[in-house]
Amino acid sequence: MYLILLGAPGAGKGTQAAFLSKEMKLAHIASGDLFRKNAQQGTRLGLLAKTYMDKGALVPNDITIGMILERIKEPDCGKGFILDGFPRNNEQAEALEKALKEVGKDITGVIYLKVAEDELLKRLSGRWICQSCQTPYHEVAARPKVAGKCDKCGGKLYQRDDDKPETIKKRLVEYFKQTQPLISFYTGRGKLLEVEGSGEAEAVWGSLKAALKAVKSPSARSRGA
């Protein structure tokens, strides 16, 4: 299965992709995590990407597309993948479609996590992330058992540089301008599955699993199930 998780920053793509990846044993590829890992390691790609990320801007398409198309060739993607944070604009979506077509593959489905803008702002402004396993926490809605420590792996929690109020606003502007048009792009291709993304992560996961049944059985999707 070749799945895409589409949604605004803070919609819960990372959390739901982690559930999906565990359940379906598919590679979870998060473009933002790849950029942050490169930035932490001080690679050329990472340092360049950071200059855009810190401003809340998208990293240029040639860099991003090259990185993802290389990543999906790796052996762990043999059975499929879940893309989280990619594509983020039409050019990226078209490049992905073309690359998959060249190897006789196609996107199976695009899960759009729909969350209202005021909810996105609330989620992003209180977000803390585990430095080791990337599990997200929230200072009000999802606190760790021990302050500053990840419940899952004990890793240190940190606040992303681009989760500062001014940068959050810019990231949302970029999302509405560049990424939201992908909803009609994938609707036009008959691939879009809309899932209500507000509410508790477990409840969203329940809705997502129900929506995925339509992907596994395309006749159910055409009946509108």
Tokens found for residue 206:
């329940």
Would residue 88 show up in a list of annotated catalytic residues for this protein? yes
Tokens found for residue 67:
């990185």
User: For residues 66 and 218, which CB has a smaller minimum distance to ligand AMP in the complex?
Assistant: 66
User: For residues 59 and 82, which CB has a smaller minimum distance to ligand AMP in the complex?
Assistant: 59
Catalytic option among 36, 171, 191, 221? 171
Would residue 221 show up in a list of annotated catalytic residues for this protein? no
CA distance 76 to 26: 8
Q: Which single residue brings its beta carbon nearest to ligand AMP?
A: 32
Q: Which residues contact ligand AMP by CB under 6 A?
A: 9, 31-32, 35, 52-53, 56-59, 64, 85-86, 88, 92, 162, 171
Q: How far is the CB of 70 from ligand AMP (least distance, A)?
A: 14
Would residue 189 show up in a list of annotated catalytic residues for this protein? no
Catalytic option among 123, 127, 191, 221? 127
Q: How far is the CB of 183 from ligand AMP (least distance, A)?
A: 15
Q: How many CA atoms lie within 13 A of 107 on its CB side?
A: 26
User: For residues 9 and 12, which CB has a smaller minimum distance to ligand AMP in the complex?
Assistant: 9
Q: β-strand 81-84 against 27-30: which pairing, if any?
A: parallel
User: For residues 111 and 221, which CB has a smaller minimum distance to ligand AMP in the complex?
Assistant: 111
User: For residues 182 and 208, which CB has a smaller minimum distance to ligand AMP in the complex?
Assistant: 182
Q: How far is the CB of 187 from ligand AMP (least distance, A)?
A: 20
- Identify the helix (H) or strand (E) that includes residue 146: none
Would residue 223 show up in a list of annotated catalytic residues for this protein? no
Catalytic option among 13, 36, 50, 221? 13
CA distance 99 to 166: 36
Would residue 171 show up in a list of annotated catalytic residues for this protein? yes
Burial 112-136 (b: 16+ CB within 10 A, else e): bbebeeeebbbbbbbbbbbeeebbb
Catalytic option among 88, 123, 191, 221? 88
Q: Hunting for tokens 């990472």 — which residue is that?
A: 46
Contact 100, 2 (CB under 8 A): yes
CA distances for 14 relative to 17, 78, 100, 113, 187, angstroms: 5, 21, 23, 11, 22
Active centre residues (catalytic) = 13, 88, 127, 160, 171
